[in-house]
Amino acid sequence: MRRKQPEMHQREEPAQVFDAIDRRIMSILQRDSLIANQDLAERIGLSPPACLKRVRQLRRTGVIGRTVALLSPALTGFPLLTVIRVKLELHVKNAADKFEKLMVALPRVQQCLMVAGDFDYVLLVRSRDVNHYQEFARDVLAAAPGIRSYASEIVLSIAKDSTEIPIDTD
């Protein structure tokens, strides 16, 4: 089965080398992307135009991929998180491509990760409650062609939930 890398990870380039200022900018922006350029510049010790130039360069090179708002799943009506491990039928032509297209089209699927090991994919799926998840399992997973099997685990609590990439700021 052909393994396609997710769009964000398609580049096979070596990691870029960043100076201390770029690393500090990245570290701050990961925690607060709404910080004013003036405040960011003051915190890292640059003039505002020089700081803005560096941020724009990080965006241009794709280091800063996008800026988003992280919403509260509970307050937006989707508190239930389910981890689903999926095994595909190996003999189904283009099974991985079809599966990925289906998952990408479903807003409740927060992540679709191709993995090595006993399963082919790991999904993170949001639902309103257990019944809502059961509808997803029945209508999507059980009905999708190319899925050999799947296993689901409902997340009971989250000890850590971070979107930050480790940045060495020393």
Answer for the pair 155, 79: CB distance below 8 angstroms, yes or no.
no
98-157: pLDDT as tens digits: 999 999 999 999 999 999 999 999 999 999 999 999 999 999 999 998 999 999 999 999
8-32: pLDDT as tens digits: 445 556 678 899 999 999 999 999 9
State the pTM of this model.
Answer: 0.83
Sheet containing 109-114: which strands, arranged edge to edge? 109-114, 121-127, 80-88, 147-154
Domains of the chain plus CATH, in order, are 18-70 (1.10.10.10), 80-154 (3.30.70.920)
